[in-house]
Amino acid sequence: MDLEPLARAALPPAHWGYLATGVDDDRTVSANHDAFSRVEIRSSRFVDVSHSDTSVKLFGVTWPSPVYLSAVSSQRAFHPDGELATARAAGTRSALLMLSNAASTAVEPVAEARGGPVWMQLYPTDDWAVTSGVVRRAERAGCPVIVLTVDNMPGRNNETLQRASRLDGRTCTDCHIGNSHDFVHKAPMYSGLDLSRVKEHTPSSITWEFLDRLRQLVSVKLVVKGIVTGEDAERCVAHRVDGIVVSNHGGRNEETLRSTLECLPEIIAAVRGRVPVLIDGGVRRGTDVFKALALGAAAVGVGRPQAWGLAAFGQSGVEAVLDIYSRELRVIMRQAGTPTIAAINRDHIVSRLST
Ligand SMILES: Cc1cc2nc3c(=O)[nH]c(=O)nc-3n(C[C@H](O)[C@H](O)[C@H](O)COP(=O)(O)O)c2cc1C
């Protein structure tokens, strides 16, 4: 959290507003984080924790930490090196990186900077030719996983961003060509595609039939990001997705007041171990990671903190963020008597969440 004010100081007001904003009164942003305070940790004694192992396996790949860098768009708004700095940090820490479809750098140079494949997040748009263009490009770039984001309907009431933008005296058009904040038309992942028919980045007409069609198109693993109910999780599995991310986009899209941690148990119950369930939203401490794992998450994503590190210090800032999570997770695992990630389960927490 100490990086947050440093990032704020480093960024122009509008870019800070873009990073920090939720919607309406930003109460879902707070709810995500506050929920972790309603879960307590039960420590076991007389467990040999002299060797601890924080590694997790996802789709056959072993990662040294369950913490991954979730999709954060337009990272050159936070640092001139943008996604390349984040990717290098992920590389030096062998961390899983989910690249935003709306990134300011395309997947090929990002994968090169990462030194290995990255997961590709997908905003499909309402034009199937564009959907397939992005998916095929990501697959050609070696992405082993496509992550379809389903919680970002067009139009959001991001008042914190709007207020901050009014405080920003700079001329947007100096950098935003044609004053375009429309990422579909400026994000390099869509370049070379005919965008003339695109009206929405997440089609507001999206249904389960769309998911089936996408499932047929995607030849690698397909994960759905933005699921917050057990019913939808159950249907995702029935529609043959390979994984689910419990996410409300960091409280940026809808003011539900329902934290993702609160949503996690019903999704874990619905999925019954058939596919991995990941979670993001408000994770700010190693103990938060521990609690999400104890509630059944297979891995834990961080959004804003990576951008705080990036804005404040570039690559080394993102490395610092990853290091802090790793160090704190190791400490609580030792203290709680859980030498491995597999050892962390419901017995190690008391949940005062309403679910
Ligand atoms: C500035 C910013 C941009 C984001 N861009 C995307 C995006 O392009 N695609 C996406 O699926 N999620 C995006 N997210 C959501 C994150 O992937 C993640 O779900 C969320 O940030 C987690 O909450 P946290 O910020 O509290 O860690 C973005 C979040 C932020 C803060």
pLDDT of residue 175: 77
C-alpha–C-alpha distance, residues 137 and 220, integer Å? 12
For residue 18, which atom of ligand 1 is closest to its CA? 1
The full DSSP string for 148-186 is EE-S--S----HHHHHHHHH--S-GGGTSGGG---HHHH
pLDDT of residue 283: 98
pLDDT of residue 270: 98
CB of 281 shorter than 6 A to ligand 1: yes
pTM: 0.98
Going by alpha carbons, the residue nearest to atom 17 of ligand 1 is 71
Report the residue among 249, 279, 285 best suited for mutation to probe ligand 1: largest number of ligand atoms under 8 A from its CB: 249
Residues 6+ apart with CB under 8 A from 48: 339
Report the residue among 30, 68, 72, 134 best suited for mutation to probe ligand 1: largest number of ligand atoms under 8 A from its CB: 72
Going by alpha carbons, the residue nearest to atom 12 of ligand 1 is 71
Cβ atoms 35, 257 nearer than 8 A: no
Going by alpha carbons, the residue nearest to atom 28 of ligand 1 is 72
Q: What's the chain's average pLDDT? A: 96
Quote the ligand 1 centre to 19 CA distance (angstroms).
9
Asked about 249 being catalytic, the answer comes back as: yes
What are 144-203's pLDDT values in tens digits?
999 999 999 888 999 999 999 999 988 887 777 665 667 787 899 999 999 999 999 989
CB of 226 shorter than 6 A to ligand 1: no
Residues of the chain with pLDDT under 70: 177-181
Identify which of 161, 167, 188 has the alpha carbon closest to the alpha carbon of residue 105.
188
pLDDT of residue 355: 77
Cβ atoms 132, 192 nearer than 8 A: no
CB of 72 shorter than 6 A to ligand 1: yes
Helix axes 82-92, 304-313, angle to 10 degrees: 100
CB of 302 shorter than 6 A to ligand 1: yes
Going by alpha carbons, the residue nearest to atom 27 of ligand 1 is 303
For residue 250, which atom of ligand 1 is closest to its CA? 23
For residue 20, which atom of ligand 1 is closest to its CA? 31
Identify which of 302, 300, 329 has the alpha carbon closest to the alpha carbon of residue 69.
302
pLDDT of residue 180: 61
**Cβ neighbourhood burial of 294 (10 Å; 0-12, 13-18, 19+):** buried
Quote the ligand 1 centre to 70 CA distance (angstroms).
7
Residues written for the chain: 355
What are 44-75's pLDDT values in tens digits?
999 999 999 999 999 999 999 999 999 999 99
Quote the ligand 1 centre to 104 CA distance (angstroms).
14
